[in-house]
Structure 1
């Protein structure tokens, strides 16, 4: 009897694997086709409770498309938003959020939807891998952070009594720090290019726009350096006085 070669075994195992996947897919489709909307929704909720958000999203998407006027129609959409957030699928999450806001502008949970929009945009801005290894990526595009800030701002302004308002305020402070750090990175880039006017202007922007963030100390240092390079003695002295009054232990404040 001939020995089965490694390549033949690999081919056979691939066939069995594909067959199993196909069978599983057919079974899932069969379940979606034969179960009632109520049973499907219960399946989706069970999947979410078990942490299987991928399965939950598949079922909820099927429910949303097949039974758009079903008994759980708005809850299905709300659950779908949460499922995509847990899956870190920002594009699908934002698409479903915007659709919900457009179709249900007066819904009782609309404050939650705006809150989720902020969370999804924050998630899109974050780099979990970089955070885990301690890599500073504050120089990345802050467009999602800006969008998240506006989402939370809308929530607080429109629904000040929302149960999510307090957490939204905390997150807005985090986002302000993030945006201030981005502006600092831009100012530091201008310094490397010896674009002193641009560096000073960007640092001034930090002071004016994000005055209550930790970035203001470094922004003042950049302004002092830039004004000195430009020969602007009056503006250098003014920035130095502000630094001394605000951060008396700063090295520039103590040595000047």
Structure 2
């Protein structure tokens, strides 16, 4: 067999050899500066061990939260500090305190849903704590502060009353029970106001039966609110309009007996007198029974 030597004068072969030589030379040159410029730093980020997170002391986080809330007025950041206590030191006394403070900070910041969530969690985890009454009160107060005006749906008002009644039921001797009772009266007044608004609208439409039904709710369910005087006067007017004068007389009589100095009684009295009648209570009327039931008749 005859061995043939490659013809190195082949232009295409020489071109390929030249390109390969230049590439090899470039890699050698590149390797030199990389080896001297901390190549390890490039690879370290891939092979470095995961950093260990060091917990901060619970009291430090808690006090930082207090500082942010009380001194800086930054309730959002304070909430994060309190939440961090709970995350890093669960089941500790600091975590218990931080959970309550997180609820309070949320309430002060107007983040009512967050407040309710944190306070509910506090009550569930620490029902026997001396601060459980306050947590329950925060739930009720968060609902109370969201009560809408009387022109809107009053579902939030009813929810507020239920939450406030829970404070009184669970913690009747606490300082928050007294405040809860006052808020309940205000919320009930709101519900009565809603009924009055709708009742007046029906009166304007001369739908007296529908109006009577609304005013009846105020008289039977919300006698202790400021709206009951007007409700009785409106009942006098509505009953006179549909010719049920006996109930009109009773409404005026009950109004005069319980609120003799009311301007609404003066209007009701004048209306009854204009028909040649006197305010006279029918003892079998639903209005008379409603007021005797609560000791106002």
State the TM-score, normalizing by the size of structure 1. Answer: 0.75
**Aligned partners of 1:146, 1:236: CA distance in 2, in Å?**
31
**2:83 is equivalent to residue 68 of structure 1:** no
Give the equivalent residue in structure 2 for 1:216: 228
Choose the corresponding residue for 2:64, options 37, 43, 54.
43
Answer yes or no: is the 8 Å Cα contact 2:55–2:88 preserved in 1: no
Output the CA distance in 1 between the equivalents of 2:96 and 2:57: 17
* Equivalent pair of 1:247/1:253 in contact (CA under 8 Å): no
Query: What is the aligned partner in structure 2 of residue 100 from structure 1?
Result: 122
Checking the alignment, whether the CA contact within 8 Å between 1:177 and 1:214 is kept in structure 2 is: yes
What is the CA-CA distance between 1:227 and the residue it aligns to?
Answer: 1.8
Larger RCO (alpha carbons 8 Å, 6+ apart) = 1
Q: How many Å apart are 1:215 and its aligned residue?
A: 0.3
**Could you give the per-residue CA deviations for residues 108-155 of structure 1, whole angstroms, max 9, x where no partner exists?**
3211112111211111126xxxxxxxxxx3323222222222222222
Deviation at residue 79 of structure 1 after TM alignment: 0.3
Q: How many Å apart are 1:219 and its aligned residue?
A: 0.7
Q: Distance in 2 between matches of 1:207 and 1:150?
A: 21
**Poorly superposed stretches of 4+, deviation over 4 Å:** none
Match among 239, 244, 250 for residue 232 of structure 1: 244
State the alpha-carbon separation in 2 of the partners of residues 71 and 167 from structure 1: 28
Larger radius of gyration: 2
Contact 2:167 2:177 in 1 (8 A): yes
**Structure 1 segments unaligned to the other structure (5+ residues):** 1-31, 127-136
Structure 2: segments with no counterpart, 5+ residues: 1-52, 274-297
Q: TM-score, normalised by structure 2?
A: 0.65
d(CA) in 1 for partners of 2:235, 2:151: 19
Aligned residues, how many?
Answer: 215
CA-CA distance at 1:239 after TM superposition: 1.1
